[in-house]
């Protein structure tokens, strides 16, 4: 009976850890890949160093294309999209950067891009103008857009 209690306790503890922390896809080496959350400061260092109130020419600072998921925690479609974005970060880890911006915390960035509907995804290619799409997308649709906007020659 004592062994049964120990096994049950270990099983329940492990199950609760998976529920609490979520399951994250891993790459071939087992490394967890998650999107990076950007603030206004990190956005200026990694994406575009814009000046507040000025319209600058777009000059992307990254060395490979990126997608930026504009979201809010209270948004149900955003929460549905989040695990797909996490999976995309793993699948395309060598080809693109995947970033997330919380529109509630980073209201200046949301205003800069005219975000009035979320989720919204900004596709930022190298040497071209970015493309914004809004609304939930499934994995296949998001992968098609990555190929269309970021990985096509």
87 and 139 in contact (C-beta within 8 Å)? yes
Catalytic pick among 75, 88, 115, 122: 75
User: Does 66 qualify as catalytic in the annotation?
Assistant: no
- Pick the catalytic residue from 38, 47, 66, 78: 78
Q: Encoding tokens for residue 81? A: 């999209």
Q: Annotated catalytic, 78?
A: yes
Hey, which residues are catalytic here?
A: 75, 78
């Amino acid at each position: 009976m004592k062994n049964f209690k120990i096994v049950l306790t270990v099983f329940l503890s492990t199950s609760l850890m998976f529920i609490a922390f979520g399951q994250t896809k891993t790459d071939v080496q087992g490394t967890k890949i998650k999107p990076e959350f950007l603030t206004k400061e990190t956005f200026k260092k990694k994406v575009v160093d814009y000046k507040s109130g000025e319209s600058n020419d777009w000059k992307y600072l990254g060395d490979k294309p990126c997608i930026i998921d504009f979201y809010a925690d209270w948004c149900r479609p955003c929460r549905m999209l989040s695990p797909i974005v996490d999976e995309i970060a793993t699948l395309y880890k060598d080809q693109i950067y995947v970033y997330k911006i919380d529109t509630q915390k980073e209201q200046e960035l949301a205003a800069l891009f005219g975000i009035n509907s979320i989720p919204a995804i900004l596709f930022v290619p190298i040497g071209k103008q970015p493309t914004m799409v809004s609304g939930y997308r499934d994995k296949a649709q998001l992968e098609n857009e990555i190929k269309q906007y970021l990985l096509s020659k």
